[in-house]
Chain A
Amino acid sequence: MTGSSPVQRWVGIPLLLLVALVLQAALFAYIPLFGALPELTLLVAIAVAIEEGPEWGAATGFAAGLLMDLIGALPLGVSALSYCLVCYFVGWFRDHMSDSPLAPLGVVAVATAAGQGFVLLLTTLFGQGTRGVGAMTVFLTCAYNVILGLLVLPLVHLILRPRASA
């Protein structure tokens, strides 16, 4: 709880989100895994929630979702609400997480599925159609995020906790 300074958070997190957004739209959007795209901004928000807890998790999730809504075609606020709630709970859950190095990757998988599930639920509730995203796509997106998580989780840790990782 004592690692990162306010400067690291206020500068590091927006920068991480912007880089994630650019990579999502201009790089990973062209590299689907068997048709499924990763959710890189959600992954960064999950990593921030694991590092910084529920408050920063919720705020980062909200910002990440809002950016995705803006560059995608979903109604403004749908991904923001979904990612915000998911990352809040990830931040809350981190204190209950086991010390296994695989535990954060498990959290990434479950949180990615929950984030996508929530988006699909909200779009259905608000009459936007079911968006027909099948279970296989959700599964592949989770797998994609876990693979990227191998790189993103240590990177976020390094940026937000330089002393701890030195």
Chain B
Amino acid sequence: MVIFRRRPVLRRRILLILLVSVAVVLITMEFNSGGEPSSLRKALLTVVEPVESAVGTVTRPIGRFISGLIHSGDLKAENDLLTKRVEELEKEQADAARLERENDELRELTKLQNQDDFAYLTTRVSGVRVSNTDWSIEIDSGTENGISDGNPVLAGQGLVGRVTDATSNRSKVMLLSDPQFSVTVRDERSGVTGVVTGRAEDPPRLELVEASADVQEGDLLTTSGFEGSSFPAGIPVGSVVAVRTDDSGLTLRIEVEPFADATRREYVSVLLWTPSA
């Protein structure tokens, strides 16, 4: 100990090496857990969760209030847009009953499974993105409510992400915009399949589609539900907004606009469905 007091430079270097080593060990542990949350992370979250929940109950409404004040202009525009959308939906509702009946008959014939066949849980969004590199949200339900890692999360009827860290009363949801997120989709018009991956601030992209494939702007993309897929079939993911040929000329570069944005929502639905092993 005396040597450390006499040589502060040595002491601070040893401390730095120690902290860097601990960080590297932690990073390695996370990567060795194969994409799943490590047991250490789960244990730490279980400790932090009640404290964060208690304090957040008081502070979160203040944040939402200030956010509402700042974004009042956006809210008005959003309100106008939603009013217009309601009118459109009321018109579409007339057709919906007929289509549903047809759909039921066809599904009976093909024995297809889609998201309507699974129980879902509507839950409150309790935490939004906490930093610029964070593409996750937190929800107010966990394993005690039947949620487990891998459950798809929807806002309205559109896919927004999947559960990654479910603890007893809370869960983390990896958003569609996370660069680690990917989902196999099908073009509803042409049947072309591909993989939509998140690209953080940029719009998600539909990849692995060959240049000759029939994909057009405005096409609707839904989860493909292939065997072993992380999602059941038929969940709307987004619509195609731009189609270009890649620099190589072999594949298409397709930008996708997601149907739902969970970062502005107060409630989301968790589909109690886990991928088959």
In the bound complex, residues from chain A placing their C-beta under 8 Å from that of B48 are: 70-71
CB pair A73 B41 closer than 8 Å: no
Contact of A80 among B26, B67, B198, B201 (CB under 8 A): B26
* The stretch of B53-61, B80-88, B222-230, B235-243 that contacts the partner chain: B53-61
State in angstroms the CA–CA spacing of A37 and B129 once bound together.
9
Q: What 0/1 readout, one digit per residue, does chain A (23-57) give for beta carbons within 8 Å of chain B?
A: 11111111100011101000000000000011100
State in angstroms the CA–CA spacing of A58 and B11 once bound together.
12
Closest chain B CB from A85 CB (angstroms): 7
Q: What 0/1 readout, one digit per residue, does chain A (87-124) give for beta carbons within 8 Å of chain B?
A: 01000000000000000000000000000100110110
Contact of A72 among B25, B40, B136 (CB under 8 A): B136
Q: What 0/1 readout, one digit per residue, does chain A (129-145) give for beta carbons within 8 Å of chain B?
A: 11111100110010000
Q: What 0/1 readout, one digit per residue, does chain A (63-91) give for beta carbons within 8 Å of chain B?
A: 00110101111111111110011001000
- 13 further A-B pairs in the complex, CB-CB below 8 A; given A27-B62, A65-B23: A30-B64, A37-B132, A62-B19, A62-B23, A77-B25, A81-B23, A84-B19, A129-B198, A132-B200, A133-B132, A133-B201, A137-B201, A141-B132
CB pair B38 A119 closer than 8 Å: no
Interface majority SS on A: helix, strand, loop or mixed? helix
Interface majority SS on B: helix, strand, loop or mixed? helix
Give the interface size class of chain B.
Answer: 35 or more
Q: Which residues of A contact B (CB under 8 A)?
A: 22-31, 35-37, 39, 53-55, 58-59, 62, 65-66, 68, 70-81, 84-85, 88, 116, 119-120, 122-123, 126, 128-134, 137-138, 141
Q: Which residues of B contact A (CB under 8 A)?
A: 8, 11-12, 15-16, 19-20, 22-27, 29-31, 38, 40-41, 44-45, 48, 52, 55-56, 59-60, 62-64, 66-67, 70, 127-136, 164, 172, 174, 178-180, 198-202
